[in-house]
Amino acid sequence: MKKSGIPLTLMILLSWFAALAWCDGDIIRSVHVLDLMIRDYTFKSVDKNFKTGTAESVKLPSKLAGISVDTVRFRCGSLTRYGAELKEFHLNVGVTVHPCIERVMLIRQNMGSNWSSIYYSNYDLSGYQLVSPILGLLAYNADQDSNSSNSSINPFQLGIVSGDKPLTIDFTNATKLNEGTPLCASFEGDGRMTVAKASENSPFVCVAKRNGHFGMVVVDSEVDEYNKKPIAQWKVAVGSTIGAALGAFLLGLLLVAMLVRVKKRSRMVEMERRAYEEEALQVSMVGHVRAPTASGTRTTPTLEHEYINSHLN
């Protein structure tokens, strides 16, 4: 009997090591880790003797603020015979729980708009935008472990499969959509997301064959402002600062270019003026001084006595 507990202990330790690999301090990046934390807080907070079939709200710590959790416990046979309803989830008659010994604990999650955003980093939502919070319905074993000395509960995960009628998830009060056609998104445990049309009679009601996590999406071009990824204020501030600095730098380059062009143009005008003056009045060097000189084509001077003799003759 003791040996049977060793693999179970190893499985729990391995799951927590995997969970720690996806945590960075208090930042939770994995939806699987988030499910494990909600499960543990739920089993610790509820009374072990709380009434079967009665839903209870679960109080989560401040680091999980924004997530709404409710839980209820059923006998597996009663759940199959009568079905159940837990907030947005409706389980029709004929649902089965695998594997189930006697009791099952259902945990309903509403991730809210903030926590739902981590699904963007865990699933490929290319071309789609969430227009509702993620709603989850998970099932765990609620039977006491007979191999444990203190008769504690071993909360391993169970699966719920619908019968003739599917499970339904009502997003009427959870979706804020101004325009566009809502589609039902199912987030599988293997990292895949599947999209399907909503119910024909109710555009905000989704159907499913098994439990899991669900949301409503629209194609990216139709999304409204409800659940666009929020931009952190520090990113806006840094972007504005960089943009202002780049603008100032480009403006400075433009001013420098204008000054250089004006100075170059002034220099060309001065050179043309000097060339014109030197062409009209030649300049020669007298010692170390530039001095203007007359042209060499002046009339030859005539002596006075030569002028008198020419007139006497």
**Which residues on neighbouring strands pair with residue 291, listed in sequence order?**
284
pLDDT at 20 over 50: no
Higher pLDDT: 25 or 281? It is: 281
pLDDT at 18 over 70: no
Q: Is the pLDDT of residue 12 over 60?
A: no
pLDDT at 227 over 50: no
| Segment 207-227 mean pLDDT | 79
User: Which carries the bigger pLDDT value, residue 146 or residue 104?
Assistant: 104
Tell me what the pLDDT averaged over the chain comes to.
78
Per-residue confidence band for 301, with pLDDT thresholds at 50, 70 and 90: low
Q: Write down the pTM of the prediction.
A: 0.62
CA 193 to chain centre: 17
> Does the pLDDT at position 246 exceed 50?
yes
Report for 45-54, 97-106, 238-247: range of highest mean pLDDT: 97-106
Token digits of residue 240 = 């504005």
Enumerate domains of the chain plus CATH numbers. 28-227 (2.60.220)
pLDDT value at 22 more than 50: no
Q: 51 vs 18, which has greater pLDDT?
A: 51
**pLDDT of 221 above 80:** no
Q: How far apart are CA 245 and CA 306, in angstroms?
A: 87
Give yes or no for residue 2 having a pLDDT over 80: no
**pLDDT at site 234:** 62
Determine the pLDDT at residue 311. Answer: 55
Short-list 93, 99, 100, CA closest to 76:
100
Return the pLDDT at 101.
82
**For residues 207-214, average pLDDT:** 95
Q: What digits encode the pLDDT tens for the residues 163-179?
A: 999 999 999 988 877 67
Assess whether pLDDT exceeds 90 at residue 16: no
151: pLDDT confidence band, cut at 50, 70 and 90? low
- Rounded to whole angstroms, how far apart are CA atoms 273 and 249? 37
Average pLDDT on 227-245 reads 69
Residues 247-270 pLDDT 10s: 888 888 888 888 888 787 777 766
- Mean pLDDT along residues 110-136: 92
pLDDT tens-place string over residues 277-294: 555 555 555 665 556 565
The predicted pLDDT at position 235 comes to 66
Structure-token match 């739920």, residue found: 42
